[in-house]
Structure 1
Amino acid sequence: MGLTSHSTGAGVLEKGLKTANTSEEKVIALGGNPNVGKSTVFNGLTGLNQHTGNWPGKTVTNAQGKYRHKDTDFILVDIPGTYSLMANSEEEEIARDFICFGNPDTTVIVADATCLERNLNLVLQTLEITSEVVVCVNLLDEARRKKININLNKLSELLGVPVIGTNARSKKGLNILMDSVYDITNKIRINTPIKITYDDIIEEAIALLEPSVKELIKDTLNSRWVSLKLLDGDESLLEPLQKYLKVNLMSCENISLNVKEAKNKLMKAGINEDDLRDKIVSQIVSIAENIGKEVVTYTDETYNQTDRKIDHILTSRIFGIPIMIGLLGIVFWLTITGANYPSSMIADFLFWTEDRLTSFCHWAGIPSWVHGLLVLGVFRTLAWVVSVMLPPMAIFFPLFTLLEDLGYLPRVAFNLDNFFKKACAHGKQALTMCMGFGCNAAGIIGCRIIDSPREKLIAMITNNFVPCNGRFPTLIAIITMFFIGVAGPFQSILAALMLTGVIVLGVVMTLLISKLLSKTLLKGLPSSFALELPPYRKPQVARVIVRSIFDRTLFVLARAVLVAAPAGVIIWVLANIQIGDLSLLSHCAAFLNPFAKLLGLDGYILMAFILGFPANEIVVPIIIMSYMATGSMVELDNLSELRTLLVSNGWTWLTAICTMLFSLMHWPCGTTCLTIRKESGSLKWTAVSFLIPTLSGVVICFIVASTVRLLGLG
């Protein structure tokens, strides 16, 4: 769901269109509902031989991988997980359009063996589009554990296509699956695929229209399915259909007249376009239910009671939210505690490397300004970002992904859905908000799962109220120095508790600003959505760690490094160019100081946040550099020395509070702003996403500072 390397690169749809027509490679579309193990099947077959990118003109990600079976090279295209091909969302449109217009030689639909009947809905819809289908019934091990038996041979007979049982996690059945794919791509077929028939009046309407459609499109597409889509008025299909066929079907007089006559026939029977779609859906669901009854048997009818008992606790009104906050606190505690040592080791290595670079510059006679710019500016900034950012991400992302793999995150969305609904926002925003804890750029990309453009924008604009791991060190250091002190073995626990309290404040702000946006800039009502609570599963720890490190941690770090490198140049220049007796940095801080004082800060703190725009990790080092007037970022040996430095420069508990509040509520970092620009495609909404949290931080800090001063407390 969150940020991966999938978010960049070239589109695979166009490549699929090209390679599908070659004799050397066969294109396979891999589809299925969410949470059925489709990605596990994809990874099990393609391994590391994968490429990812964006669908042309879309923000939904794709993935393709190569696999050689027998004497044929296959290109597997992992199309978006979807429950339906009725095109109610961008993902459904992408899945449908690739199956229809991407020229796949075979479409593999992955189904969940533990809830086969629901998955058959997608299988039947796909069979209406193409007969080149293989059904992969995955998670057979879980089905056996729940004492669910599936007659795969009977299912294959009823559907008229190959049905292969797999356990993709252990790669069982994948070779047999590819055998069937090989047969289908080579036109080796045993049965005739099932034909879905509807009410007599609908069949008459289809029969009236189909001949004229078939005459025009020949065998390029399934003429019966195209006729059905023309009758139900699927507007989302007409544009890609016209682009693919290079002709507008409705501009053909014969087809246009037949569509009108067929719709009149339906209207006389009391069936409008909405009714027609309902009848189509109802018939498909009915057929899926009947097939399910014939092929699925339950040895134990109470097979899912354990999951329901757990859900009764985790999603209850009484315990759901406290457990969620508790788990969040545990994740933060593990992240805080676990990141200390590797962060210190990485920092020691990188600053040791800096010393070697400095020695080399002196030996080579490189001018001091070049050494300062490149080593003390660029390299030292990057060293700070990497040493501070990498360890927490390397811990947080795997923990987050484990909860995702376990099946808990949909329960988080369920618990928070009512709150977001009251804020006129989307329930899935809870998931994008969770991704923001690791990286706000990850949360922005996660907004792709929200179908409504209005609600997607709300989620993007408010995601920055969730502090990312780049802001954790600042928050933790201030909490420890000014509010916990020396608490012995309980220091990390108390820090995690206070940090969790700050997070809760961020969530409250997210809801309040979402409500405000829904009543002003982005007026509208919350849309409904189907939220599946998948079965709890034993997470694959090794796969989760590898996926988190390579797809999320290193990808986010690479983006941060690209943005932070130029910042190192700017910081060094400002700190080392003198005007009179003061550096440019000091002059800028003095200019900002009157305004900063109103917010409970000072000019150097506000300047540090401005210079920290590329990466939040460097805010504290810039503050230290400014107070010590060193000309480059420095690190103090311990928090006690840092507290002494801050207090000697006028910090009080009020300064600490306001700095924490401003850290929680200020502009998104450079990486996040770039991601918002890419995802929204709009400079306007990028600017709004920058201004709203910033204005919120300014207003909140001003109110807190003014109130405390009026009361004479600070």
Structure 2
Amino acid sequence: MGLTNKSTGIGVLDNEIKINKLTPDDKIIALGGNPNVGKSTVFNNLTGLNQHTGNWPGKTVVNAQGDYSYKNNNYILVDIPGTYSLMSSSVEEEVARDFICFGNPDTTVIVVDATCLERNLNLVLQTIEITSKVVLCVNLMDEAKRKGIEINLTKLSKKLGIPVVGTSAIKSKSLGELMEEIYKVSHNKITLNPMKIEYEKMIEDAINKIVEPLKVLFQDKLDHRWVALKLIEGDKSLLKSISEYINCSLTEEKKLMEKVDDARVLLKDEGIDAEKFRDKIVSKLVKTAEEISRDVVFIKNNNYNSFDRKLDKYLTSKKFGIPTMIALLFVVFWITITGANMPSQILSDGLFYIEDKLTDLFVWLDAPNWIHGLLVLGMFRTLAWVVSVMLPPMAIFFPLFTLLEDLGYLPRIAFNLDNYFKKACTCGKQALTMCMGFGCNAAGIIGCRIIDSPRERLIAIITNSFTPCNGRFPTLIAIITMFFAGFFSGPLQSVFSTLILTGVIVFSVIMTLSISRILSKTILKGIPSNFTLELPPYRKPKIGEVIVRSIFDRTLFVLGRAVVVAAPVGLIIWSMANIYVDNISILTHCANFLNPFAKLIGLDGYILMAFILGFPANEIVVPIIIMSYMATGSMVELDSLDQLRTLLVSNGWTWLTAVCVMLFSLMHWPCATTCLTIKKETLSFKWTLISFLLPAATGIVICFIVTQVSKIFGLI
């Protein structure tokens, strides 16, 4: 994955310039920073609605671009991925580094958190080693003030040699000074003199050996000292990127490489190998950040984060951490289950009312019955099912999930589960991607980008479908209510259903850990990597932003993908149910063929066929089962769960059938949307196929064991 206009994002910017008819005088501004520093808020308040979001071409990292005007000038703001470092141990770090180095931004703005300046300064120091055109935005000044933290911004600016602006990004007015400093830097209105990081004498001597030939080769394209450091370090991905940037292979520059070899020999004679060299560079940056912070940060109240510590004493403890997490899971699912019923019914009534009107239209047009069947009873009815069943719970679950994210609780989940994932030889960050999978497995797959290790990222992607998504909840809830919670009534029924569903979710987590460990010991061998887990301060969530972000960025995005995939399957389902061979529909022929195998795993041919036809969208599995049993030729809905239970029991369902359907729903192939996302994220048909086959094989084996054990012990 070398450096190209596409990989740096330059190509994306060029496209945006053409789309918006921008002029060559417009300035490109890179916006960087650690995660959880309010970078997105700065971006949103500066650009307003003038935003565009997409992937960096050639890389699976999302970027956002927007523009704003200031003093009759237009600025293109590029929100580069949040990262703790530019030393390229992850795709996000590589993208951020490459855009700052080779995207030629007119100004790079680094956003830091005023409440933890010392930790954030590490990224700032790395950035000013690369470019002098930097503006430091010290955000969350209001939060720092509440905690009794004062920062001498003037002194900080003098020490760093770059403009420093204090902001409270949630208040748009506080960004005026930031826009002014960006204007000055991008238009060369001020002289910049960023601080020079002084390393120990041996390292400085090694750098000086390389700087002179670099001046001839690079001229003013890149900072010579920084390139010298990277040459000594031997960062292969960066060296390849630099070579493509200057259209010249660094490794073929003999005089330069001789100097690099001399520098490495000089360091080796002093006992400094490549690993120790990197450690010394990092240590110097950390020490410099500590010294600067000590001089400019003044804390009036040393117990400013005592409230956070008290909460974490329980939320991250061995005794209360996991139970609290499960309790919150229960609450989220209970709200989702009880809250989705009414809007789902309203949507269903509205969409099926439209279906009736479409039927009237086709009758008025005197259209053939098969066209009406394909387009209305097939495609539209399938889409109506997907939207009415999928949208309400997603519209509830995703805001709740985003709320926990804004509160700062999700990193605590990763902390609580890190030890378990470590035992499975994977990464604690997988817990976050697993949580995202509860809403939609496709969203969970995309979330795997936060995992640095390619091996651990693959494990997280492959196992994400073991987490039941929003599309599988209706099936699980219906079966739990009909066969296991039916003897309760009123509020107790929803509570008991939620308890069983929570138990099912805990089982899915156990399966995720088990399969992750099996993968890490077989086809994806390796030891778990260490990762930096930041526990951000608890913050008051911005309700309006949470609702907008969760609905537009998650709910509608996922629903749109599902609708695109589900539309053609409606045509296929109707055709199979209405085309007859020897007076038997193709659907029945297929079910009869699958029946012997399905019986071995506690299902029947129609159920297994429904799961197969439900590949585009899990929401349509139950309607297909109903349609098959009733031989109606199109998907239908019964008026109550009691009617549905009667229909299922009359077609041979027992408690074992219900259990096996739940288990198979929990563990079977991912839906089409998820498979497409896996292919896009891994860029590999092989891993997509493994991600499809592994959960399916697991579900078949588990159902087979449960069925045969039940028969052996005479439980049915």
Q: With the length of structure 2 as denominator, give the TM-score of the two structures.
A: 0.97
1:562 aligns with 2:564: yes
1:427 positional shift: 1.1
CA contact (8 A) 2:9 2:103 kept: no
- Which secondary structure does the structure 2 equivalent of 1:30 belong to? strand
The corresponding residue for 2:528 is: 526
1:197 positional shift: 1.1
1:391 positional shift: 0.4
Counterpart of 2:632, as a letter, is T
The corresponding residue for 2:261 is: 260
- Which secondary structure does the structure 2 equivalent of 1:76 belong to? strand
Counterpart of 1:525, as a letter, is I
Matching of residues 429-440 of structure 1 within 5 Å? 429-440=430-441
1:13 aligns with 2:10: yes
Q: Deviations over 1:89-110 (max 9, x none)?
A: 1111111111000000000000
CA contact (8 A) 2:9 2:99 kept: no
Matching of residues 450-529 of structure 1 within 5 Å? 450-485=451-486, 486-529=488-531
Query: What is the rounded CA distance, in whole Å, between the counterparts of 1:172 and 1:710 in structure 2?
Result: 73
The corresponding residue for 1:130 is: 131
Counterpart of 1:592, as a letter, is L
- Which secondary structure does the structure 2 equivalent of 1:484 belong to? coil
The corresponding residue for 2:3 is: none
* Equivalent position to 1:588, from 582, 586, 590: 590
Counterpart of 1:13, as a letter, is I
1:266 positional shift: 1.7
Q: Deviations over 1:621-645 (max 9, x none)?
A: 0011011100000001110111111
CA contact (8 A) 1:10 1:54 kept: no
The corresponding residue for 1:655 is: 657
Matching of residues 104-115 of structure 1 within 5 Å? 104-115=105-116
1:487 positional shift: 2.2
1:290 aligns with 2:291: yes
Query: What is the rounded CA distance, in whole Å, between the counterparts of 1:135 and 1:651 in structure 2?
Result: 65
CA contact (8 A) 2:12 2:56 kept: no
Query: What is the rounded CA distance, in whole Å, between the counterparts of 1:567 and 1:236 in structure 2?
Result: 43
1:189 positional shift: 1.5
The corresponding residue for 1:271 is: 272
Matching of residues 53-132 of structure 1 within 5 Å? 53-132=54-133
Q: Deviations over 1:119-173 (max 9, x none)?
A: 1111111000000000000011110111101111111111111111111112242
- 1:12 to 1:50, Cα distance in 2 relative to 1, 3 A: farther
- Which secondary structure does the structure 1 equivalent of 2:37 belong to? coil
1:378 aligns with 2:379: yes
1:494 positional shift: 1.0
Query: What is the rounded CA distance, in whole Å, between the counterparts of 1:218 and 1:10 in structure 2?
Result: 24
Query: What is the rounded CA distance, in whole Å, between the counterparts of 1:251 and 1:17 in structure 2?
Result: 31
Q: Deviations over 1:539-588 (max 9, x none)?
A: 10100100110010000000000110011001000000111222111111
Residue range with higher mean Cα deviation, 266-275 or 444-453:
266-275
1:11 positional shift: 8.2
1:691 aligns with 2:693: yes
- 1:387 to 1:472, Cα distance in 2 relative to 1, 3 A: same
Query: What is the rounded CA distance, in whole Å, between the counterparts of 1:39 and 1:458 in structure 2?
Result: 29
Matching of residues 214-363 of structure 1 within 5 Å? 214-363=215-364
- Which secondary structure does the structure 2 equivalent of 1:173 belong to? helix
CA contact (8 A) 1:609 1:619 kept: yes
Query: What is the rounded CA distance, in whole Å, between the counterparts of 1:553 and 1:582 in structure 2?
Result: 40
Counterpart of 1:619, as a letter, is V
1:454 positional shift: 1.2
- Segments of structure 1 that go 5 or more residues without pairing to the other structure are 1-8
Identity value in percent: 67
Counterpart of 2:627, as a letter, is M
Residue range with higher mean Cα deviation, 351-360 or 522-531:
522-531
Query: What is the rounded CA distance, in whole Å, between the counterparts of 1:62 and 1:142 in structure 2?
Result: 27
Instruction: Number of aligned residue pairs: give it.
Output: 706
Query: What is the rounded CA distance, in whole Å, between the counterparts of 2:626 and 2:13 in structure 1?
Result: 54
The corresponding residue for 1:395 is: 396
Query: What is the rounded CA distance, in whole Å, between the counterparts of 2:7 and 2:547 in structure 1?
Result: 26
* Equivalent position to 1:642, from 620, 641, 644: 644
The corresponding residue for 1:152 is: 153
The corresponding residue for 1:536 is: 538
- 1:10 to 1:497, Cα distance in 2 relative to 1, 3 A: farther
CA contact (8 A) 2:8 2:99 kept: no
1:71 positional shift: 1.4
Query: What is the rounded CA distance, in whole Å, between the counterparts of 2:156 and 2:452 in structure 1?
Result: 33
1:679 positional shift: 0.7
The corresponding residue for 1:4 is: none
CA contact (8 A) 1:596 1:606 kept: yes
- Which secondary structure does the structure 2 equivalent of 1:168 belong to? coil
Query: What is the rounded CA distance, in whole Å, between the counterparts of 1:275 and 1:527 in structure 2?
Result: 19
The corresponding residue for 1:614 is: 616
Residue range with higher mean Cα deviation, 254-263 or 131-140:
254-263
- Which secondary structure does the structure 2 equivalent of 1:239 belong to? helix
- Which secondary structure does the structure 1 equivalent of 2:484 belong to? helix
Residue range with higher mean Cα deviation, 239-248 or 22-31:
22-31
CA contact (8 A) 2:7 2:58 kept: no
Query: What is the rounded CA distance, in whole Å, between the counterparts of 1:37 and 1:71 in structure 2?
Result: 27
Q: Deviations over 1:659-706 (max 9, x none)?
A: 101100111001001111111111111111111111111111111111
Query: What is the rounded CA distance, in whole Å, between the counterparts of 1:311 and 1:92 in structure 2?
Result: 29
1:354 positional shift: 0.1
Counterpart of 2:326, as a letter, is I
- Segments of structure 2 that go 5 or more residues without pairing to the other structure are 1-5
Q: Deviations over 1:378-397 (max 9, x none)?
A: 00000000000000000000
Query: What is the rounded CA distance, in whole Å, between the counterparts of 2:691 and 2:251 in structure 1?
Result: 42
CA RMSD in angstroms, aligned pairs only: 1.4
- Which secondary structure does the structure 1 equivalent of 2:536 belong to? coil
Query: What is the rounded CA distance, in whole Å, between the counterparts of 1:56 and 1:580 in structure 2?
Result: 52
- Which secondary structure does the structure 2 equivalent of 1:521 belong to? coil
1:257 positional shift: 1.7
Matching of residues 664-683 of structure 1 within 5 Å? 664-683=666-685
CA contact (8 A) 1:117 1:288 kept: yes
Q: With the length of structure 1 as denominator, give the TM-score of the two structures.
A: 0.97
Query: What is the rounded CA distance, in whole Å, between the counterparts of 1:159 and 1:10 in structure 2?
Result: 30
The corresponding residue for 2:445 is: 444
Counterpart of 1:348, as a letter, is D
